[in-house]
Structure 1
Amino acid sequence: MHFVLYQRDDCALCDHALAMLAAVRAPEFASVWIDDDAALEARYGARVPVLRDERDGRELEWPFDPERLTAFLRHA
């Protein structure tokens, strides 16, 4: 998997991002919860949800819409 979605537990925005990923038929991705990881909390904190392409380090921060998400995924 090349994509990672950084998110929090009980995060309505994260749930919305997950629904959007499904709607645009995103490729398979890993989910990483930042809540119990101090380093990830420091890095992503209030920015979640964040979709990261591990191949080149690009990140798509919330808020994003289906068009921005699709463009991000196509760049891969």
Structure 2
Amino acid sequence: MLTIYYTAACHLCEEADALVIAYFAANGIAPDSLTRVEIADDVDLLQRYGVLIPVLKAEATGQELNWPFGLDDIEHFLANSDFSIPPKNV
């Protein structure tokens, strides 16, 4: 599972989310493989990620990818984080 930490009205977060969804679509990964976590709902997350968002986190390993990142960065990150690719339901 992949998590994106974000907050509302963050244009960089929206851009990052769109990049991940585009990567998933191009590689046959189910969109529900991405969990979105609003950091404003949690004081600890807000303190940890407030100036770093958007941040991707591979739940299996705990590895994180901080913004800025592109499609190549996402591919490299997932390949090196033991991200198991759940297939799309066809």
Using structure 2 for the length normalisation, give the TM-score: 0.77
Using structure 1 for the length normalisation, give the TM-score: 0.90
Larger radius of gyration: 2
The CA RMSD measured in Å over matched residues stands at 1.3
Paired position in structure 1 for 2:10: 11
Report how many aligned residue pairs link the two structures. 75
**Structure 1 gap ranges (5+):** none
> Structure 1 residue runs of 4+, over 2 Å off?
none
Inter-partner Cα distance in structure 2 for 1:25 and 1:37: 27
How much does 1:74 deviate? 1.9
Identity of aligned residues (%): 37
**Structure 2 gap ranges (5+):** 83-90
Inter-partner Cα distance in structure 1 for 2:12 and 2:74: 14
